[in-house]
Structure 1
């Protein structure tokens, strides 16, 4: 229901306006309020905030333009709906009314009920549209401000990311140089130490051949010295192997590798261990028989894991080693499962792939093999998972990054 304020000191005119508008627009859709003076019109406008005010210019106390100016101070910023009614067709007065905030104007004696209704309806619709535009514009301004704020935040974040990425790039380059320097140092050290150790071994063999030791316990001392020299030689050799494998990785391209053929090579190289332990090697590679990978790296991975399965066999049973392949989410996976000694993962899991870590002191080894396996797999873009239970066996699950 629309509220219409009739501001006119002529009772007959107010009655005519009610009749005209009621018949044209429907009495049930309108709510009329009347003011007989300018002051009363201003007070009612402030309290009622009508949808439209039909304002006579010639009021007894003040003129319509003064009423318009006073009401405008309390009108919404997007405008008010006022139709000014004048007693003559004075164009200057009409212009002043429109400039003062009136929506339209009519001249008494020159409009009928239809024109009055159309003028009021148009004025209300125009004002409502202005209100809508104002609200929409305000909302749009708020959204634009949010977008500008978001853009500023994104720009700041992007700049921060660029700075951090540059810092990471610098750190990565520094780490790469450090790793290269470490590899060069280890390789040089192992290479330079190898000859002195061989010389010590030769001198020790000559000493044992020519010297006479009357004390029976001297033989035990000699045996311990020999074991220590052998362990030192093995450690130096393994260190050199790690660095050589890492250096070779960057110079070799991936190729199609047949798992059955590769395992045949591995089994051939481990023939003596397999025969002495009476181990049974089983292949289950029907799902994935061929992968795209650096052949030498995959051979080293399989050889170390298979060799460990034989080395850390359980003394009470024949070694059973299963090599199987599968696909997980499109990624090739190679498993090496054994029934050997197993590993206490709760105790040793965090240091499983660290260099020189050994978990079965009674078994010969330097703790280099698993470090090398993990390093090659990580360099290739994959990772290694381990399931193991002490006394029952271990499964190494190698996730190979699919090349190409």
Structure 2
């Protein structure tokens, strides 16, 4: 083998031209053909190497490089064939052919293994179609982007308009809040002034009624003394004394009612809500008005529910029954015996208490609101101050209830009180 490489460029053989008998046309044809093939083979690798260098995106660049080396080796074999026509360097030619064979086999193997990948490379027609589709998608995307730009501009304009509108509304709202705050402060100030005025008025009423009691008591005593001192007064004097007694009694009732109203409005202590038994409260009230019931020969009838309770304070329950019963007996019909029926029960979500009489009745046309006002009376011929129904209405409303009246003139009147059903709580 060493001897082979030592003689690799020696020309100890007969030149290949002897095989052609040195005929010019044969030598020219073989040498010319090999020359052209060599030049072509040598030019192709450089183009492949240049292509591989410029195309950085190639994933199988080694295929191009190996193929270029194989073609370069093939061109070298044709160069050796031209030289051996005159110089018989057959050992070098054989070595070049072995190298070319190795490169050709390697190139074939690599090409065979890379064939599926190479086949997957899109063709020019596919690339053209894909490019057209891409251009269509780009145009569609540009159209969508333009539409989005227009929508975005419209949205920004609407946002600006809405922001300006909200700012304007907020400014108006701030002004309105400021006005309301001023009004609220004014209202609070007025309420404080009203509360102070009410307290002053209540104090005045209480003091006035208290201060009037002594002179009225003295007047009453003087009238009694006058009656005792007078000897056989005539009829006119008796009438005057009777009127004076009635006036004194009326003043006493007014003072009593003023005191009751003042105490009622000034009561601020906390009462515990009770389940008041109506039978027990009614018995207590009947004791306090027994003389009135007996004098009028009145009949009291009850139709209470099974439990017969009201969810209110006991003192308020007595005040309600007292005022409604005395009111019913006061406005009796002279031609018949007074009859009063008390009824209680459940209905929907409230407890009701009704007091019905057979008295003179009330003309409610335009008078229903006036009926419950303080010191308002619809029948001047009956003694009274118009305080009882006012107190009843205030008590009922303090417990979240309501009171209504139904009446027929000459037949009687029914007052219905409704109290919400609640648990026992502090109010």
* Superposition TM-score, scaled by structure 1 size: 0.65
The reply to whether residue 349 of structure 1 matches residue 368 of structure 2 is: yes
Q: How far did 1:151 drift?
A: 3.5
- SS at 2:333 equivalent: coil
Q: 2:132 maps to what in 1?
A: 113
Equivalent residues of 1:288, 1:332 under 8 A apart: no
Q: How far did 1:387 drift?
A: 1.9
Report 1:4-403 matches (<5 A): 112-212=131-231, 215-248=234-267, 250=269, 252-286=271-305, 289-326=308-345, 330-346=349-365, 348-400=367-419
Cα gap change, 1:118/1:389 in structure 2, threshold over 3 Å: closer, same or farther?
same
Distance in 2 (CA, whole Å) between partners of 1:249 and 1:188 is: 19
Q: How far did 1:346 drift?
A: 1.7
**Cα distance per residue 1:289-338 (max 9 Å; x no partner):** 33332321221122101111111111233323222335566344432222
Distance in 2 (CA, whole Å) between partners of 1:381 and 1:169 is: 24
Cα gap change, 1:167/1:327 in structure 2, threshold over 3 Å: closer, same or farther?
farther
Distance in 1 (CA, whole Å) between partners of 2:188 and 2:402 is: 23
Cα gap change, 1:140/1:213 in structure 2, threshold over 3 Å: closer, same or farther?
same
Distance in 1 (CA, whole Å) between partners of 2:325 and 2:219 is: 33
Distance in 2 (CA, whole Å) between partners of 1:362 and 1:276 is: 19
Distance in 1 (CA, whole Å) between partners of 2:421 and 2:199 is: 26
Q: 1:54 maps to what in 2?
A: none
Equivalent residues of 2:298, 2:337 under 8 A apart: yes
Q: Aligned residues, how many? A: 296
RMSD over equivalenced CA pairs, Å = 2.9
Q: Structure 1: any 5+ residue segments left out of the alignment?
A: 1-108
Q: How far did 1:342 drift?
A: 0.9
Equivalent residues of 1:313, 1:341 under 8 A apart: yes
**Cα distance per residue 1:56-82 (max 9 Å; x no partner):** xxxxxxxxxxxxxxxxxxxxxxxxxxx
Distance in 1 (CA, whole Å) between partners of 2:306 and 2:159 is: 59
Equivalent residues of 2:349, 2:420 under 8 A apart: no
Distance in 1 (CA, whole Å) between partners of 2:353 and 2:181 is: 38
Structure showing greater radius of gyration is 2
Distance in 2 (CA, whole Å) between partners of 1:329 and 1:138 is: 57
Higher helix share: 2
Distance in 1 (CA, whole Å) between partners of 2:352 and 2:247 is: 39
- SS at 2:204 equivalent: helix
Q: How far did 1:123 drift?
A: 1.7
Cα gap change, 1:117/1:336 in structure 2, threshold over 3 Å: closer, same or farther?
same
Q: How far did 1:209 drift?
A: 0.8
**Cα distance per residue 1:20-78 (max 9 Å; x no partner):** xxxxxxxxxxxxxxxxxxxxxxxxxxxxxxxxxxxxxxxxxxxxxxxxxxxxxxxxxxx
Q: How far did 1:184 drift?
A: 1.0
Bigger CA drift: 261-270 or 136-145?
A: 136-145
Q: How far did 1:201 drift?
A: 1.2
Q: How far did 1:198 drift?
A: 0.9
Distance in 2 (CA, whole Å) between partners of 1:119 and 1:302 is: 92
Equivalent residues of 1:291, 1:402 under 8 A apart: no
Distance in 2 (CA, whole Å) between partners of 1:377 and 1:326 is: 16
Distance in 2 (CA, whole Å) between partners of 1:113 and 1:166 is: 76
